[in-house]
Amino acid sequence: MYVTIYHNPRCSTSRTVLAALRERGIEPRIVEYLVTPPDRSILERLLATLGLEPRGLMRRKEPIYRELGLDDSGKSRDALIEAMLVHPILIERPIVVTEKGSVVCRPAKRVEEVL
């Protein structure tokens, strides 16, 4: 099974999901998205496969979210995507992608949906 996890090793939920994958004998492709942020085409593809608009994939409690005024409903889709590209800490985690689909694993047990 092909599995990619967009992972932040400092996040306990992300570590839990990675451990759950490994317990099932799955060694996923790990993308530490804070080190290697997705480009626009990958981010657009993730949004499409997740069935989300940009704000639905954003970590709204991050200080930078407020600092950039991203809670302003007048912000365009493009502006929100650009903010995530420049500040990948805004991207919710972990995201698991398999041939069955993609899911933001919050809570961690959501990983089961794509396995």
Number of domains within the chain? 2
Domain of 113 in residue numbering reads as: 1-33+93-115
Whole-prediction pTM value? 0.94
- The CATH number of whichever domain residue 10 belongs to comes to 3.40.30.10
pLDDT, tens only, 89-103: 999 999 999 999 999
29, 67: one domain: no
Helix (H, G, I), strand (E, B) or coil at 52: coil
- How many other CB atoms are there within 10 angstroms of residue 66's CB atom? 11
Same-domain pairing of 54 and 83: yes
Q: Catalytic annotation on 11?
A: yes
| Residue 95 and residue 87 in contact, taking contact as beta carbons nearer than 8 Å | no
Tens digit of pLDDT for each residue in 15-65?
999 999 999 999 999 999 999 999 999 999 999 999 999 999 999 999 999
| pLDDT band (50, 70, 90) for residue 1 | confident
From 4, 11, 32, 52, the catalytic residue: 11
